[in-house]
Structure 1
Amino acid sequence: MTYSELWRRLVPRYDEREAKAVARTLLEDVFKLSLTDLYTDGLERLTDAETSLLDNLFGRLEQGEPVQYVTGKASFCGREFKVNPAVLIPRPETELLCQTVISAFNAPYCALQPPEPLRVLDVGTGSGCIAVTLALDLWNSAITAWDISSDALLTARENAHRLQARVNFELHDVLQLDKAAFEASPFDVIVSNPPYICERERSDMAPHVLQHEPPSALFVPDDDPLIFYRAIARYALRRLKPSGLLAFEINPLYAEALRKMLEEMGFRTVDVKKDPYGRERVITAQKPLPAPPKEESPKRTN
């Protein structure tokens, strides 16, 4: 068995370049084989048990299971996170969301940085990649993370514990928030990568995503693509501090509609950011300041 024979098993699922990358990821992560090993005798040194495991894992890849689920881990912002079918696989565009928040508050002498811990809420935390990254990289922060899935929260807690990040995880459905959610202390930042892919976009998606990643974390109704953004923004109007930051990862197809919605809701300094490929991927906005009290007109005296 050679490296060439292995990656060619994946060509029906992937093009040649991606098949090589997927095969190499599995061989490096699970069997600790370097690129040099792959082109020499590294595979021949595997034991019978390792060879059997390798065949089993490649069988899962041939069925379309993402390599991150097969290896059980994914890289995000320079760290390894545990992933499984209960959570989305972290993606580079979500790194841009984290970098946007971090740069807003970690800049020297940033005017937005409060003297007390920066209170941050991550809505729909999944693997916990956003919450953990912000907990570790955002100076003087206190992070809370929500998800509707108890299985996702278990994975997120494990990632936080392994990476030594302090995050308070809570079970909440942002579309049906309970009283406790509204009794939380106000937040300085609310960040989210919510579901944003319309059902009609399924035909454009890779089969390994459709068949293996959790649909509840991906899809929204065709007739209401902003359903989660609207719910989170409404909550932000009530629980963000004045001038607090709201930050979303977005579907480029609905960037303009989302910008208009946030402005109509009263948010200010709404800004859309593009990824390195020129696609609109992140939107930020600030909660409006409270209206100043009206001055009473002086009473006229005769």
Structure 2
Amino acid sequence: MKTVKIGGVPEHFNLAWYLTLKNGEYKDEGINLRWKDYFGGTGQMCTALRDGEIDLAVILTEGIVKDIIDGNPSTIVQTFVASPLIWGIHVAEHSNYKTVEDLKGTKAAISRYGSGSHLMAYINAQNNNWDLDKDLNFEVIKNLDGAVEGLTNEKADYFMWEKFTTKPLVDDGTFRRVANCPSPWPCFVIAVRTEFLENNKEDVQTILNIINNTTKEFKDIPSIDKSIANRYDQKLEDVQEWLSLTEWSQDVMDEKTVANVQEKLFDLDIISEKWEYNKLITKL
């Protein structure tokens, strides 16, 4: 049986992977798919792909595009979630900051450089016409637990993370959300180490076929909202709102979208050059 290692964030977006693993669908096809949770998010997964710790990653679009251009020997084979990610902009409950404008020039907590929380801080700054050199400062906090500590102890002033994941921390009075910042593109893609793909193309295609069959009908799974609420400690109404906003994809990202991602990252000086479509995307 072929062992394949895959990584992703331990969030509700990836429940379809858990369900297909639990059902033994990959093993039925001769694939021992081993899932690993990455609490540090996209930056941590980029490192894992580079080091060969995992073969595939379910990863934020902007983070993997930047890292491939920076030398990560991987390629994007499919969009996983077609809808934008809604990033909540959070401060500590006791913070004096009330609006996004109050945060201009303060310190953003980020999981690591090159992560979604880092790159989206630039998107938020541009949206609000901040000076990208003067008005952005960063404190690396590794993960969500680190953000709680960092904001509570005033090591950093605000933190951007997926709004539904952090909603329980808003509800219990740890964080206060001052605004939302949707990503300007489909949020999650599936990336594969290029060397692994070259040698295991049929296995990768089989994995995609299995997960796509589940995501196509994910919202129709009986009581899926209750399952998500229980598993991820979410309020049922929050899960129902999230499901209404989220669309999974079974397709390859098109050239226009890839160009848009690169244009935005280039304008923000996050990438130093723009690449041709087929150097970032592989159609199976």
Normalised TM-score (structure 1): 0.28
Q: Which has the larger radius of gyration?
A: 1
Higher relative contact order (CA 8 A, sep 6+): 2
